[in-house]
Amino acid sequence: MTRKALVMLLSAAALLASARADAALENVRGAILMNLKSESVLYIQDENRKVPPASLTKVMTMYVASDAISADKVSLSDSVKISRRAASQGGSSLHLKEGDVVSLDLLLAGAAAVSGNDAAVAVAEHVSGSVTEFLRLMNAKASELGMKNTKYVNVNGLPAQEQVTTARDMLTLTKRYISDYPDNLRYHNIPSIEYGGFVNTNKNPLLESCPGADGLKTGWVNASGYSLIGTAKRGDIRLVSVVLGGVKPEDMARESLRLIEAGFKTVASGGKIKVKQFLAEDEEQ
């Protein structure tokens, strides 16, 4: 091999290594991936960029409600009468009507699986007596968990000024939520809920496309784009991914799946091959 050919070969190898080092998810505003077993962060990308949480807000709603259930302040079997405020919420809906009486269990399922904005408000009113008090508990919980860049202004994630979060904060929340209430995953992977003559489907694309996926929550408002907290377990390894601000729903679905699959490959390699390298290889195919 001539000296010139060797230099060209080495240069090409350096460019490939650089590309792999710079590999990133496409068309998203922030992302993070963690192996919950080792508590090691496997990937970060603009993880502290502030983005409206949209319906990812409901993970905190579920957490605060679960705290109240754990403390025996309310029960899953409680009958909840739906208020006018709850029934009038826009966006994703369980199609609750004012005066309906349903169980708290159904409301939690509706908030988690089909992102019912009406269900989230009904949960807040029942647990705390008012949305204002429930919001105080949500923000207090965020502070307790160290979610320094998150602020909640409502309980369901509908558009609101000053309501923000980050990928890292959503990871912090999800890690503790799954740890404290692992049984709640049953709410997040319900395929569909039929209520009031409507069939509401789970919008989490990972449940169908990613082996081992069993949660967790999607979100969308114009100001944030499409976001997804995903979690999947294979063997004794559970990964949690957060992808915020996809331009299109297919961006959110594709990049979340790529991230989790690259994460499992990294774990299988014993950490010798980084997530970015697997993402780069995926881009090359």
Reported confidence tier of residue 59, pLDDT bands at 50, 70, 90: very high
Look at the chain and report how many structural domains it folds into: 1
161 in a domain, yes or no?
A: yes
7 in a domain, yes or no?
A: no
116 in a domain, yes or no?
A: yes
4 in a domain, yes or no?
A: no
Ranges 2-11, 63-72, 189-198, 214-223: which has the least confidence: 2-11
pLDDT for the residue numbered 7: 39
Residue 47 contacts residue 167 (beta carbons within 8 Å): yes
Tell me the C-alpha distance between 65 and 71, whole Å: 10
Reported confidence tier of residue 282, pLDDT bands at 50, 70, 90: confident
Name the residue among 102, 142, 141 with its Cα closest to residue 119: 102
Q: Please write the tens of the pLDDT for every residue from 120-176.
A: 999 999 999 999 999 999 999 999 999 999 999 999 999 999 999 999 999 999 999
Average pLDDT over residues 205-209: 97
For the cut 90, the answer to whether the pLDDT of residue 25 exceeds it is yes
The radius of gyration of the chain from alpha carbons, rounded to an integer in Å, stands at 21
CATH number reported for the structural domain that contains residue 37 in this entry = 3.40.710.10
Q: Which residues are catalytic?
A: 55, 58, 115
Reported confidence tier of residue 16, pLDDT bands at 50, 70, 90: very low
For the cut 90, the answer to whether the pLDDT of residue 183 exceeds it is yes
8 in a domain, yes or no?
A: no
Name the residue among 14, 30, 25 with its Cα closest to residue 282: 25
22 in a domain, yes or no?
A: no
pLDDT for the residue numbered 13: 39
Q: What is the pTM of this model?
A: 0.92
For the cut 60, the answer to whether the pLDDT of residue 18 exceeds it is no
14 in a domain, yes or no?
A: no
3 in a domain, yes or no?
A: no
Tokens of 114: 């089909």
Q: Please write the tens of the pLDDT for every residue from 78-129.
A: 999 999 999 999 999 999 999 999 999 999 999 999 999 999 999 999 999 9
Residues with Cβ within 8 Å of 234's Cβ and at least 6 positions away in sequence, in order, are 211, 212, 264
Residues with Cβ within 8 Å of 106's Cβ and at least 6 positions away in sequence, in order, are 119, 193, 195
Domain that holds residue 120: 27-284
